[in-house]
Structure 1
Amino acid sequence: MIEDGATERGSVTTVRRIGETIRRPVGEWTPSVHALLAHLEAARFTRAPRPLGVDGTDEVLSLLHGEPAFGPWPAKLRSTAGVVELGRWLRDYHDAVRDFRPPAGARWRGQEEEWRPGMVIRHGDLGPWNSIWDGDRLVGFIDWDFAAPGHALDDLAQLAWYAVPLRSVEKQRRAAVTGGHVLRTRLDALCAAYGAEPTAVLDALEALQSREAERIERLGGLGQEPWATFLARGDVAEMAAERSWLRSQRAALRALPAGR
């Protein structure tokens, strides 16, 4: 966990801890994200930061105590029980956000669609690096800057992409989770915990990967950050490789006997 008074720079933003708070640079999306987080607090959804206002050029959020899951992942996340906990967290989040109505004129970072009934506000960056763990307990998810209107299934697809993980063998090894049978078991467990069919999640993931590659090319080409950085570092080619991997493995993921 980041130490009191320390500053950490990630691939997208810089955060600083002061006491029991986290400070991050504000953006035009900050009021919308704070409205979302305030709604979650009112709904007694405790596994997300609480918005504590703005201090100059920084937003102020409550600190979630624990460690982010960088590779190799902690033992709990490498277990089936870990992905079950992720699926339950996402189910609880979507239940809590279902009746949230964005404020008039809401702005969201990299927004692709206007909110309409039937949508939720997606977290938008559901990778293990944003999950906070206290030992074997999932504390919650941080980094809500990419929250935006979308479809609930896309959140689940993104979580499956990064947390099963439905990625190349190299990425599996970095997480210390490998093997087609293991991936099938983890995908099934995640979907069962959330309440969705794995085939629907795989369909959503293929579409999500295509949209994300297109967004990096479009917004990155316009010089809009962080997509310009993503474009420059080769994320479009990496995304194409990940889509190719998913297509090549999809039949096997559904045909393998889970857990064997």
Structure 2
Amino acid sequence: MIEDGATDRGSVTTVRRIGDTIRRPVGPWTPAVHALLAHLEAAGFTRSPRPIALEGGEEVLSLLHGEPAFAPWPAVLRSTTGVRALGRWLREYHDAVRDFRPPAGASWQGAEQEWRPGLVIRHGDLGPWNAVWDGDHLAGFIDWDFAAPGHAVDDLAQLAWYAVPLRSVEQQRRAAVSGPGVLRERLDALCTAYGERPEAVLDALDALQTREAARIERLGGRGEQPWAAFLARGDVAEITAERRWLRAERATLLEG
């Protein structure tokens, strides 16, 4: 956990901890994200940061106590117990957010579509690096800057992509989770905990990867951050390779 008074820089932004709060730079999307987090708090959903204030160009959020999961993953995340916890968290989040109506004129970072009935506000960055674990307990997810309107299954697909992980053997080894049988078991555990068919998740992930590569090329090519940085570090080639891997492994992942 980040120490009190310390700063921590991720791939997109820098945060600092003051007591039991986290301070982050604001963006045009921050008021909409705070409206979302306030709705979750009012709905009794406790496993996300609480919005506290906007002060001096920073947002102030409550601190989730625990540690993000970086490679190699903690033991809980390498188990199906951890994967099921992720699926239950996402189901609870989607249940809590379904009746959220964005404020008029809401701005969302990198939004690909306007909100309309039938869509939810996706977290948009559901990777283990944003999952905070307090021992074996999933405290929740942080870093909501990429929240935006979308289909609920795309959140689940993104979570499967990065937390099963449905990625190359090299990425599996970095996480200390590998093997087709292990991945199939983890995908099944995630989907069962959430309540969705693995086939639907793989279909959604293929489409999500296609859109994300195109978005990085489009926005990054115009110099918009953070997509310009993603483009420069080779994310399009990586996503394209992972989509090929997913298509090649699809039948194996759905066996049994």
Q: CA deviation at 1:55?
A: 1.1
Q: CA deviation at 1:10?
A: 0.8
Instruction: List per-residue Cα deviations over 1:107-159 (Å, max 9, x = no partner).
Output: 00001000000000000000000000001000000000000000000000000
SS in 1 for 2:76: helix
Q: Which residue is equivalent to 1:119? A: 119
CA distance in 2, matches of 1:74, 1:227: 29
Instruction: Supply the RMSD in Å over aligned alpha carbons.
Output: 0.5
Corresponding letter in the other structure for 2:164: V
CA distance in 2, matches of 1:80, 1:107: 37
SS in 1 for 2:254: helix
CA distance in 2, matches of 1:233, 1:90: 29
Q: Which consecutive unaligned segments of at least 5 residues does structure 1 have?
A: none
Taking the TM superposition and a 5 Å limit, the aligned residue runs for 1:100-115 are 100-115=100-115
CA distance in 2, matches of 1:123, 1:23: 19
Corresponding letter in the other structure for 1:6: A
Q: Which residue is equivalent to 1:89? A: 89
Are 1:247 and 2:250 counterparts? Answer: no
SS in 2 for 1:228: helix
Instruction: List per-residue Cα deviations over 1:158-182 (Å, max 9, x = no partner).
Output: 0000000000000000100000000
Instruction: List per-residue Cα deviations over 1:16-37 (Å, max 9, x = no partner).
Output: 0001100000000000000000
SS in 2 for 1:15: strand
Corresponding letter in the other structure for 1:33: V
CA distance in 2, matches of 1:101, 1:37: 12
Instruction: List per-residue Cα deviations over 1:51-71 (Å, max 9, x = no partner).
Output: 001110110000000000000
Taking the TM superposition and a 5 Å limit, the aligned residue runs for 1:54-93 are 54-93=54-93
CA distance in 1, matches of 2:53, 2:148: 20
Q: Which residue is equivalent to 1:196? A: 196
Runs of 4+ in 1 over 6 A off after TM superposition: none
- TM-score of the aligned structures, taking structure 2 as reference length: 0.99
CA distance in 1, matches of 2:210, 2:78: 27
Corresponding letter in the other structure for 1:198: P
Instruction: List per-residue Cα deviations over 1:40-95 (Å, max 9, x = no partner).
Output: 00001000000001110110000000000000111011000100000000000000
SS in 2 for 1:101: coil
Q: Which residue is equivalent to 1:207? A: 207
Instruction: List per-residue Cα deviations over 1:229-259 (Å, max 9, x = no partner).
Output: 000111110111100110110111112x4xx
Q: State the aligned residue count.
A: 256
SS in 2 for 1:11: coil
Corresponding letter in the other structure for 2:241: A
- TM-score of the aligned structures, taking structure 1 as reference length: 0.98
CA distance in 2, matches of 1:174, 1:44: 36
CA distance in 2, matches of 1:253, 1:94: 25
Q: Which residue is equivalent to 2:152? A: 152
Are 1:233 and 2:236 counterparts? Answer: no
Q: Which consecutive unaligned segments of at least 5 residues does structure 2 have?
A: none
Q: Which residue is equivalent to 1:181? A: 181
SS in 2 for 1:78: coil
